Chain A
Amino acid sequence: MNGVKKVIALTGSTRGLKTASDSMINYLAEKLEGENINLKKFRAYQVFKEEKQIESILGELEDSELILICSPVYVHSLPYPLISLMEQMAEKTGREFWKGKKMVAIIHNGYPEDIQRKAAITICENFAHEMGMEWLGGIGFGGSPIIDGRPLEEVGGFTKWMRKALDDISKSIKTGKGISEEARRCEKKHFPSIPLWILKIMLNLRLKSNARKNEIDLYARPYVKDREEF
């Protein structure tokens, strides 16, 4: 039996309309549409300062069965607009409002290591438990800046395992079950196994070459020169 008919997705990215979070949510929305599940997306940064907008999200949440958070990691946590939105939603509602709802989180950033996403996923889990929702699990992906807001299929091989994981998550959403072992397996395979020292050299070469081309000083210290001079 399909218990989920409507999903509310909250994205945490503050970078505009074409972000990795949007790419992932759009991919999932398409999968869910095929299952007659309606996904409505809200970008936290566009709504968190507006009382009316928050009320409107809560209105949409009222008859939805699942909340999906898709966000980049900002300093080992969720971005400020998303945290603020979650705080305000919690303030305006009680556990009764969230009763029977489920939650999933997709957390991403550029880093290859899972530990760099762990705290942000745990904060989502805590929110779900605090509100009395059923936590279906969180999944994390590194290297997300490569996506650059493009459709995941267009990115190509790099998103192969991410797409497989999301395919599986769409099934979890449909059945209202937790994130499967298969999705976890895809999550583990997502980031290519490159030694950190090679990755570091590759990333730094690109940064330094761009800096030379654009004549910028990567090492500038605009706020102060030295601690002693402060």
Chain B
Amino acid sequence: MKALVLSGLESKNDIYAKVKDILEVEIGNQSYEMDWIDLTEKEIEYCNGCSHCSNIKPGLCAKNDDMQEIFPLMANSEFLIFLSPISFGGFNSELKKAVDRYSALGLPTYTIHRGELHHPPRYENPELFMSIGILEKENEKFQETFKLVSSRIAISCFAEREATVLLKKEQNHDSILTELKRGLLEMGLIS
């Protein structure tokens, strides 16, 4: 099984290595093969809503950049993880540049999912979706918003189970481990 981490977090951040090490072990223990993409090192253009992926060559993004190597990984992951510093309650721009290109992985058609109108997934939906947000400082409103954004994306990508993990920049290894395990437990991945 495949797990994919899209990281908008710069590797120079202290918390980066801690989160990466823990995820590698904990997700590896559940028989997932994990791919880790550092988006800060990728050349990714903004989605300009050209409709190529919906109306011209459905499913194929017209932009010839590093997303072309990320799309197959996204399409084939059972477990999708978004990692990002929290920017005004949402994902930061580094992660957002990749997330905005997600429409190539959806069908242009519509379906009713959880009582709302959505585009169905073009490939098999990820079973699990986890968002990990890094807070610079305590901010209740940012936390609430981040949970909202995460749950909305989980619905949009038709994930079967989801979890949101909120971490603080200065958190130590053990407390990060506790929080990440709580997320995995919430999704029923560990008991």
Contacts and interface: CB of A to CB of B under 8 A. Distances in A.
Secondary structure type dominating chain B contacts = mixed
Nearest to B50: A15
Contacts of B103: 75
B88 A223 contact: no
B75 A216 contact: no
The prevalent SS among residues of A at the interface is helix
A87 B48 contact: no
B57 A204 contact: no
Interface stretch (A22-30, A162-170, A193-201): A193-201
Contacts of B55: 210, 214, 216
B110 A203 contact: yes
B112 A14 contact: no
B58 A74 contact: no
B156 A75 contact: yes
A118 to B, nearest CB: 7
Nearest to B86: A126
B37 interface: no
A222 interface: yes
A111 B46 contact: no
Contact of B48 (A14, A111, A126, A196): A14
27 contacts: A13-B49, A14-B46, A14-B48, A15-B50, A72-B49, A74-B47, A75-B96, A76-B153, A79-B46, A80-B96, A80-B97, A84-B96, A87-B87, A122-B145, A123-B149, A199-B117, A200-B110, A204-B109, A207-B109, A218-B109, A220-B58, A221-B59, A223-B60, A224-B123, A227-B78, A230-B2, A230-B72
Interface of B: 2, 46-50, 55-60, 71-72, 75-76, 78, 87-93, 96-97, 99-100, 102-103, 107-112, 115-117, 122-124, 141-142, 145, 148-149, 152-153, 156
